[in-house]
Amino acid sequence: MPDPRRAGARTAAVIEAIRQRLATRALAPGQRLPSIRAFAATMDVSPATVVEAYDRLAAEGVIRARRGSGFYVADMALPPLALVAGEPRRPRAVDPFWVSRQSLDADEGTLMPGCGWLPADWMPQDALRRAVRAVARSSGPALTDYSTARGSGALRRVLQGRLAGLGIDAFSEQIVLTSSGTQAIDLMCRMLLRPGDTVLVDDPCYFNFLALLRAHQARIVSVPMTPSGPDIAQFETVLAAERPRLYITNSGLHNPTGATLSLQAAHRLLNAAAAHDMLIIEDDIYGDFEPEPSPRLAALDGLQRVILIGSFSKTLSASVRCGYIAARPDWIEPLIDLQIATGFGGPGQFAAETLAQVLTGGSYRKHIEELRARLSRARPRVAARLQRLGVTPWLMPRGGFHLWCTLPEGCRAIDVAQAALADNVVLAPGDVFSAAQSAAMMMRFNVAHCEDISVIAALERAIN
Amino acid sequence: MPDPRRAGARTAAVIEAIRQRLATRALAPGQRLPSIRAFAATMDVSPATVVEAYDRLAAEGVIRARRGSGFYVADMALPPLALVAGEPRRPRAVDPFWVSRQSLDADEGTLMPGCGWLPADWMPQDALRRAVRAVARSSGPALTDYSTARGSGALRRVLQGRLAGLGIDAFSEQIVLTSSGTQAIDLMCRMLLRPGDTVLVDDPCYFNFLALLRAHQARIVSVPMTPSGPDIAQFETVLAAERPRLYITNSGLHNPTGATLSLQAAHRLLNAAAAHDMLIIEDDIYGDFEPEPSPRLAALDGLQRVILIGSFSKTLSASVRCGYIAARPDWIEPLIDLQIATGFGGPGQFAAETLAQVLTGGSYRKHIEELRARLSRARPRVAARLQRLGVTPWLMPRGGFHLWCTLPEGCRAIDVAQAALADNVVLAPGDVFSAAQSAAMMMRFNVAHCEDISVIAALERAIN
């Protein structure tokens, strides 16, 4: 009897061979694919294997069958993102876009315990309203003109002060504003990576790192997370064996686990990075949720091989969008050129000035203190409710709004998430966050969205 | 006597060989370069050639000389953008970033006849102010929340109506909002291009197309522009010979020439594109400046192989930033995924709702009519002043604010631009716009900025 695993590998090889020909355009849109018999001979496999491969490509819309005349490349077929890296497609429920697409386009009334941001009424709407009015009143050009190449000086000076508070000395000229936090990471990846470069992430990590790295055709390797940072012994082993060019992480409050990098782990991690000449992107997007600041890699390293990025989308506004990059002074000029080439600059001046206005007003600190206090009350309450369903936090985080949880014995997160979706509830199944696909029984919960008692009821239905 | 051109070619070959080793990391940061004698033997050139090549790389900061011990790769040297494509660096005055960098970071009081946008007081500041206040008042989530994946439905419906007015039938679901017009082109290039792909542009073309394509490591070919579009005979020849994957152009009012694509040229151009399966990005950013709409490629083609992109940065605001893409329905899903992966969505909701508010208010049409009338008066007046200096418009455009001009006999645009810069005046020398470097005697003027009489005086000084 044929070994099904080997048959699967042969089908995959045929699919890969066709994708190669499409990527290099050896097979052009509209062109007929080799006949099944001929291609079976070329690939030294059975015709049934080629049929299987062609059927799968047809199901993906990459090629089309024409009755009685074989298979053709779909008209101007684009390589969808998932195919660019030559990776097999994952089912949508563990695709890194699952949570973001469901959350962004959720209907009114959808419950979103899996979503990665706070409800609108937790955000400082009045302070934003005041800031918007003040900027509109104060200046015509702020409403109409392009920003300077680095972005608003006022906001960069605010950031300089905030970084200094974390022990990171940066001139405001070392800070570049970007359209969003994600775009900040994307710009750095465009500067630092070439297709095929190896990039290290935590397991689990923020799902969009995986989507972004796939768009860069990076080879992704991962190290398991512990409550005090990545497992350092494995970290050192992976660096020696895989020589990643770059490591992307959140240090202060890790997404999705809520872990905090310890000082000792930060020190060893930086030494390993130096020994293997690896760069680090430290995404500080959850920094303001910490009860007190934990060590930043960028502070220990002095912004040499660490690039700090962040945004205000989690604490202030995801609508008035702006991210930032703090990096080595000699990287700033090429970074600015790249941002002009690919976006003609970063955020709008109006957005940056509005954020500077809120951050320099007295109300921001008060807002953050209230957010922290409210989340500190919500975390244990939601954890207790989850535990009654057999859903157990992996860690009780120091801050933030995520709880990374183990589901009850025998529960698969994908199945629960798909059942919940039918019930109009967006969950965040663990493997979405896992490059190693090691989190089939895990799930991330947003405690702010779980205060609604109907979320727990819906989760109970989905589990059972 | 050695032929200096051949010596130059040998030096360039040595530089290219080192860059290759850096790009593939065969030479890693901190590593010692081969000795001059050894590398001369490897490359079969004289040691003097290698010295020359190493000196030039050292001047660029890519490598560093250490006294008495040879040359080393600069510590974590980044490939600056200009080097990524393996192209030789151009002097900054004909680098495609010259105009944008000078204009964006101009000091107060700098005169900017070379700049690509209107002065702040030509923009509808009051309408923007009213819109900003209305959006801030109407909705909390508009101030705080992420947009839907495609971006504001209100703005996409406005765009749908505007496109219909140009004969382009698109569902609002076929329209995706982006952070800026440039970012719209960048996203499409990320979907459509692979490094080394050939892309066709007009000669001259918008300089940032050249910067963007270089960031994509595209091979750029060009066709000379005529007053009614690209030279069609040459266009057909280049398509047959070079098989470009993509053509990027402005059709209605071309930047920098002000030319308008004729209906006949549009038809032939699309037929040639179809015959050679070439895609087209039509950048409609100057569309609203036309006295009456000219044919759009996207309208003739029905958004099959043409992607229409645009923004409001030239007519409404470059601060409240937003661009858009209208494309084939089956390209929208991968496009959304790509925009989430690389930016977690497009423009902020607040920006998009503000623009929708201005565009649906009655004042926008009046503002545009006033802009057109004001520019129609300014164009001949500025042209007459320029002509008195021997600066001759190549074409009197139907609309817009650019005049593409020939300088007096014997004047080199780079020299004039550099002299003017010392005088605090930013000019736009022709070769910045030219992939073929065919515009050494040309210059682009912004008529709105040339109304200031001191601009003409400064230009006169720079020419003489």
Q: Report, as an integer, the average pLDDT of B60-71.
A: 78
* CB neighbour burial string for B102-126, b if at least 16 within 10 angstroms, e if fewer: bbbebeeeebbbbbbbbbbebbbbe
C-alpha–C-alpha distance, residues A359 and A353, integer Å:
10
Report whether B311 contacts B159 (CB < 8 A): no
**Per-residue model confidence as pLDDT tens for chain A (464 residues):** 445 556 778 888 898 788 767 655 567 777 889 999 999 998 999 999 999 899 888 876 678 888 778 888 876 444 443 333 444 445 555 688 888 888 898 888 899 999 999 999 999 999 999 999 999 998 788 999 999 999 999 999 999 999 999 999 998 889 999 999 999 999 999 999 988 999 999 999 999 999 999 999 999 999 999 999 999 999 999 999 999 999 999 999 999 999 999 999 999 999 999 999 999 999 999 999 999 999 999 999 999 999 999 999 999 999 999 999 999 988 888 899 999 999 999 999 999 999 999 999 888 999 999 999 999 999 999 999 999 999 999 999 999 999 999 999 999 999 999 899 888 999 999 999 999 999 999 999 999 999 988 999 999 999 98
Distance from CA of A294 to the nearest CA of B (A): 27
Contact A350 B351 (CB under 8 A): yes
Q: How far is B123 from chain A (nearest CA, A)?
A: 7
What is residue A425's DSSP assignment? Answer: B
> B63 or B205: whose pLDDT is higher?
B205
A341·B81 Cβ contact <8 A: yes
Structure tokens of B159?
A: 């765009």
Whether B74 has a pLDDT exceeding 80, the answer reads: no
Q: Which CATH superfamily is domain B92-122+365-463 in?
A: Aspartate Aminotransferase, domain 1 (3.90.1150.10)
**Which residue has 């990643």 as its token pair?**
A244
Contacts of A343 (CB under 8 A, 6+ apart): A179, A183, B179, B180, B182, B183, B186
Task: State which amino acid sits at residue B362.
Answer: G
For the stretch B114-157, pLDDT in tens is 999 999 999 999 999 999 999 999 878 899 999 999 999 999 99
| Percentage of chain B lying above the pLDDT 90 cut | 73
How far apart CA B427 and CA A440 sit, in angstroms, is 60
Residue range B22-51, pLDDT digits in tens: 655 567 777 889 999 999 998 999 999 999
Residue A201: beta bridge partners? A222, A248
- Give SS3 for B266: helix
Task: Give the rounded distance of the alpha carbon of A125 from its chain centre.
Answer: 26
**Contact between chains at B341 and A208 (C-beta distance less than 8 A):** yes
Check CB contact of A105 with chain B, cutoff 8 Å. yes
B 336-375 residues inside an 8 A Cβ radius of A = 336-338, 340-345, 347-351
Q: How far apart are CA B352 and CA A450, in angstroms?
A: 30
CA distances from B298 to A236, B226, B305, B356 (A): 54, 20, 8, 23
What length does chain B have?
A: 464
Confidence at B86, pLDDT banded by 50, 70, 90: very low
Structure confidence by residue, pLDDT tens digits, A357-408: 999 988 899 999 999 999 999 999 999 999 999 999 999 999 999 999 999 9
Please state, in angstroms and rounded to a whole number, the distance separating the CA atoms of residues B27 and B32.
8
Q: Which of residues 228-247 of B touch A (CB under 8 A)?
A: none
Which chain B residues contact residue A345 at CB under 8 A?
A: 104, 180
CA-CA-CA-CA torsion for A91, A96, A100, A103, nearest 10 degrees? 40
Distance of alpha carbon B82 from alpha carbon B210, whole angstroms:
11
Residues of chain A with Cβ-Cβ distance to B101 below 8 Å are 149, 336-337, 340
How far B439 CA lies from chain A's nearest CA (Å)? Answer: 21
Of B103, B128, B146, the CB nearest to A117: B146
Characterize the bridge pairing of strands A279-283 and A306-311.
Answer: parallel
Phi, psi of B427 (to 5 degrees): -105, 170
Which chain B residues contact residue A320 at CB under 8 A? 143, 348, 350
Spans of all domains in chain B:
4-79, 92-122+365-463, 125-362
Q: B97–A137: do the CB atoms touch at under 8 Å? A: no
Per-residue pLDDT reduced to its tens digit, B415-428: 999 899 888 899 99
Which two three-digit tokens encode residue A23?
């990527």
Whether A140 contacts A110, CB under 8 Å? no
- In chain B, what residues touch A143 (CB-CB under 8 Å)? 123, 125, 128-129, 132, 317, 319-320
The answer to whether residues B223 and B235 touch, using CB atoms and an 8 Å cutoff, is: yes
Which residue out of B344, B432, B446, B449 would a mutagenesis test of the A interface target, given it has the greatest number of A Cβ atoms within 10 Å? B344
Nearest-Cα distance to chain B for A369, in Å, is 18
**Residues B347, B400 contacting (CB under 8 angstroms):** no
Whether the Cβ atoms of residue B120 and residue A139 lie closer than 8 Å to each other: no
Averaged confidence pLDDT in chain B:
90
Instruction: Answer yes or no: same fold for A4-79 and A92-122+365-463.
Output: no
CATH code of B125-362, in short, is: 3.40.640.10
pLDDT for the residue A85: 40
Cβ separation of A334 and B80 shorter than 8 Å?
yes
Could you say which DSSP state residue B110 is in?
A: -
A residues 319-338 closer than 8 Å to B (CB): 319-321, 330-331, 333-334, 336-338
Here the tokens at position A446 are 């947003």
Q: Output Rg (C-alpha) for chain A, integer angstroms.
A: 24
* Statement: A125-361 belongs to CATH 3.30.420.10: no
User: What string of DSSP letters covers B112-153?
Assistant: -TT-SS--GGGS-HHHHHHHHHHHHHH-SHHHHSPPPTT--H
- Name the residue among A221, A429, A227, A189 with its Cα closest to residue A309: A189
User: Which residues, 6 or more positions from B93, have their beta carbon under 8 angstroms from its beta carbon?
Assistant: B414, B417, B418, B429, B432
A-chain CB neighbours of B321 within 8 Å are: 179, 347-348, 351
CB–CB contact A129 B137 (8 Å): yes
- Chain B: closest CA distance from residue A247 (Å): 15
**How far is the C-alpha of B97 from the C-alpha of B175, rounded, in Å?**
29
Asked if the model's pLDDT at residue B329 lies above 90, the reply is no
Return the residue in A321, A325, A339, A449 with the most chain B beta carbons within 10 A, the one to mutate for interface testing. Answer: A321
With contact defined as beta carbons under 8 Å apart, do A429 and A98 qualify?
Answer: yes
Rounded distance, CA A168 to CA A190, Å? 24
Q: Domain A4-79 adopts which CATH fold?
A: Arc Repressor Mutant, subunit A (1.10.10)
Query: What secondary structure letter does DSSP report for B330?
Result: G
Range scoring the smallest mean pLDDT among B62-66, B357-361, B404-408, B449-453: B62-66
Show residues of chain B in contact with A331, CB under 8 Å: 78
Best residue in B350, B354, B449 to probe A by mutation, most A CBs within 10 Å?
A: B350
Chain B within 8 Å of A32 (Cβ-Cβ)? no
Q: Any chain B CB within 8 A of the CB of A448?
A: no
Q: Which residue of B has its CA nearest to A133?
A: B133
